Structure 1
Amino acid sequence: MSKRISISKRIRFEVFKRDKFTCQYCGKKAPDVILEIDHMHPKSKGGSDEMLNLITSCRECNRGKKDIRLDDQSTLQKQRREIEERQERREQIELMFKWRESLRDSDRKKLNKVVKYIDKKIDKFQLNENGRRTIEKLINKFSLPDILDAIDISAKKYLKYDTSDDLTKDSVEDFIDKIGGILTVKSRSPIEQKLAYIKGICRNRFEYWDSKKGSMILNEYVNALKKYGWSEKQILDDLENELELETKESNSWSEWKCFVEGWIDDIKKWK
């Protein structure tokens, strides 16, 4: 019988990293269990050592798949196996820390690139440590493309220049502060985004605006349309071409509240 060629440490690390140091059969993770590399298509049946054929398995699951019985009678064999397992566990812990560190390094590089992207937009100003921490939290929560889009949107909307054509400090602070809010809105459904836009119109137009009550009324309006059987597209078209336009014509909270509640009553009477 030919000697089985072992898989290199580099390949083992890449497979463990890909599978997040988790047994793909039972879900247990290192260092709680000792991990091994398993072949999805067995070597004995022509399977290869390519990454696509390799999978992370804990020792218990991997051994459970096999018909080979290990000789547990020898004390020396038991001791040797225990030593090997302890060494394997130490090596896997080291690999896991290496993987974690590579993730942290990747996050640091991503943060530095985003900070540099922001700094280019604010000329002589520079993001401070509080700003960096704010951006770091956003990176942990949102995708990089969405963050860059939000930065562009915020810059276009909030950055202002003085008479000397220099950016104002207040506008730079607004620009940074609004990035998170833009991301939150963008992560919502199209209907939720449109409702947020309509509420923004109300806040800007009316001297008084009851945010909580206004949100309840708008949600009730949308739910009434849904119960009638309208699709998301129909609701969006209505919000944009009917409710938004009527909102822009309203001059007060009471006027707006009255007409929207009237529309809700009308919808409930539709047949």
Structure 2
Amino acid sequence: MGKKKIETIINEKIYPFKLNEKGKSDLAHLTTNYSYELLVECINIGVSQYFKYNEDGDLLQDSVNTFLDKLGGIAYIKSLTPIEQEIRRIDNKGKSNFTYWNNQTANYILNKYIRALRSAKWTDEQIYVDLKTEVISLINSSRNWSEWTSSMEKWIDDIYSWDVIDDTTIEQNETILPSAIFYGLQQNFQSICKQINASY
């Protein structure tokens, strides 16, 4: 049932072209592995990304072929968790920014970084936001692969030292930052605030 509905949707999208036997066979594989809802979303993404038209507004066959070739890849990416998707995005960003980028080593470092954040009681949502902002920003500000990997390793070491820093007791009665200001912030920010107060 789902296979036929997806087939109908695609044939409507690619009209005046239609799926051949190979296209139907590839589609049967996708409908076995992915849900109807996910495939509908992927079809819409593929149409917006890959369809091209000539000057008369007619759909180009080459773009239809590209769309069909890419559909499985789109489905795979969309089936990943947000964190896994962001790791893929970081890999692509690194390859784009640097002359050298090693996916295997980068993924090892990123997964080590994620484990460190989880050990610091970060939620997956917080980790996802951090990857999307801080890690991407680090790629943009790093001059090369070596600088990025070195900075990431330092971040990982810093995360594992948060608990040690957090155990520091502030003996002075007077502080610059009242605890009410930083109560409820992420652990690393609380640690920084406590250090500021301790050095006052």
TM norm structure 2 = 0.70
Instruction: Give aligned pairs, total.
Output: 163
Please give the residue correspondences for 1:179-190 in structure 2 after superposition, counting only pairs within 5 Å.
179-190=71-82
1:199 counterpart residue number: 91
Quick one: structure 1 residues 262 and 169, their matched pair in 2 at CA, closer, same or farther if it must change by over 3 Å? farther
Instruction: Answer with 1 or 2: which has the greater Rg.
Output: 1
Q: Percent identity?
A: 37
1:259 aligns with 2:156: no
Q: Name the structure where helix makes up a greater proportion of residues.
A: 2
Please give the residue correspondences for 1:53-72 in structure 2 after superposition, counting only pairs within 5 Å.
none
Contact 2:95 2:101 in 1 (8 A): yes
2:126 counterpart residue number: 234
1:126 aligns with 2:18: yes
Please give the residue correspondences for 1:4-15 in structure 2 after superposition, counting only pairs within 5 Å.
none
1:244 aligns with 2:136: yes
Offset from partner CA, 1:52-87 (integer Å, 9 cap, x none): xxxxxxxxxxxxxxxxxxxxxxxxxxxxxxxxxxxx
Contact 2:90 2:136 in 1 (8 A): yes
Give 1:136 shift: 0.6
The Cα RMSD (Å) is 2.2
Please give the residue correspondences for 1:1-271 in structure 2 after superposition, counting only pairs within 5 Å.
106=1, 110-250=2-142, 252-271=144-163
Give 1:209 shift: 2.3
Offset from partner CA, 1:201-245 (integer Å, 9 cap, x none): 223333332111111111111111111221212212211221123
Offset from partner CA, 1:22-51 (integer Å, 9 cap, x none): xxxxxxxxxxxxxxxxxxxxxxxxxxxxxx
Provide structure 1 residue ranges, at least 5 long, that are not aligned to the other structure. Answer: 1-105
Offset from partner CA, 1:241-267 (integer Å, 9 cap, x none): 211233344454334323222322222
Give 1:154 shift: 1.6
Aligned residue type for 1:213? T
- Select between 165-174 and 213-222 the one with higher mean Cα deviation: 165-174
TM norm structure 1 = 0.54
Give 1:131 shift: 1.5
Distance 1:208 1:171 in 2: 31
Contact 2:139 2:148 in 1 (8 A): yes
2:189 counterpart residue number: none
Aligned residue type for 2:51? L
Provide structure 2 residue ranges, at least 5 long, that are not aligned to the other structure. Answer: 164-200
Contact 2:97 2:139 in 1 (8 A): no
